[in-house]
């Protein structure tokens, strides 16, 4: 596969692979991840070699692929939470316990519009995802998120959890 100047894909790889590998290392800080980025970038370049607009400098194309791939890898890893040991089986959150038993919270929830209340209960009490809530209520994920945001905003404005000093007696608003 020659381009207009006669440079083949194979010649390009032979001359630029080491520089691209260094670029991958700068992105990742890890030689193995850099090699993976380079490999993915070169595979994609091979498939697009004939379509690359600026064949005189396909490096920009490969670098963009590598950068995007690195961002995707980073996002995936960010969602993973690797730990050395199994987490505790049970965690007591006394603040959450006080809030659950505070009748003012349930009063504030009751004052919300039905859909907002349903979204909050499904999200925080039933621990459903936005997708599951949307399917359950027959609404879009975006509507789930906007209803949750509005409901939480109203709760924040209207309700404050009882403190330890007010939990047993009178409640302040």
The predicted-structure confidence for 7-51, as pLDDT tens digits, reads as follows: 888 999 999 999 999 999 888 888 999 999 999 999 999 988 888
* pLDDT score for 73: 81
Cα gap 123→146, rounded to integer Å: 13
Burial of 121 (0-12, 13-18, 19+ CB in 10 A): middle
Q: Which two tokens stand for residue 93?
A: 């959150």
* pLDDT score for 51: 82
pLDDT band, very low/low/confident/very high, at 81 (cuts 50, 70, 90): low
| Mean pLDDT, range 158-171, rounded to an integer | 57
Q: Count of residues for the chain?
A: 173
Chain-centroid distance, C-alpha 18 = 32
Higher pLDDT, 103 or 65: 65
* pLDDT score for 167: 47
Nearest C-alpha neighbor of 132 from the set 123, 142, 120: 123
Mean pLDDT, all residues of the chain: 80
| Mean pLDDT, range 87-115, rounded to an integer | 73
pLDDT band, very low/low/confident/very high, at 97 (cuts 50, 70, 90): low
The predicted-structure confidence for 44-70, as pLDDT tens digits, reads as follows: 999 888 888 666 778 888 999 999 999
* pLDDT score for 74: 76
Residue 86, pLDDT above cutoff 60? yes
Q: Which two tokens stand for residue 143?
A: 């509507």
How much is the pTM? 0.43
Per-residue CA distances from 113 to 79, 140, 160 (Å): 33, 17, 19
């Amino acid at each position: 596969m020659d381009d207009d100047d006669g440079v083949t894909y194979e010649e390009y790889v032979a001359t630029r692979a080491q520089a691209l590998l260094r670029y991958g290392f700068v992105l990742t800080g890890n030689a193995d991840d850099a090699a993976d980025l380079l490999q993915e970038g070169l595979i994609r370049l091979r498939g697009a070699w004939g379509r690359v607009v600026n064949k005189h400098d396909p490096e920009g194309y490969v670098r963009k692929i590598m950068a995007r791939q690195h961002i995707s890898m980073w996002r995936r890893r960010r969602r993973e939470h690797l730990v050395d040991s199994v987490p505790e089986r049970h965690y007591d959150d006394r603040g959450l316990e006080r809030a659950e038993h505070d009748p003012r919270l349930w009063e504030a929830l009751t004052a919300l519009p039905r859909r907002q209340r349903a979204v909050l209960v499904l999200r925080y009490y039933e621990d459903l995802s936005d997708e599951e809530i949307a399917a359950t209520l027959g609404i879009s994920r975006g509507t789930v998120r906007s209803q949750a945001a509005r409901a939480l905003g109203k709760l924040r404005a209207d309700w404050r959890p009882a403190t330890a000093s007010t939990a047993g007696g009178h409640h302040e608003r």
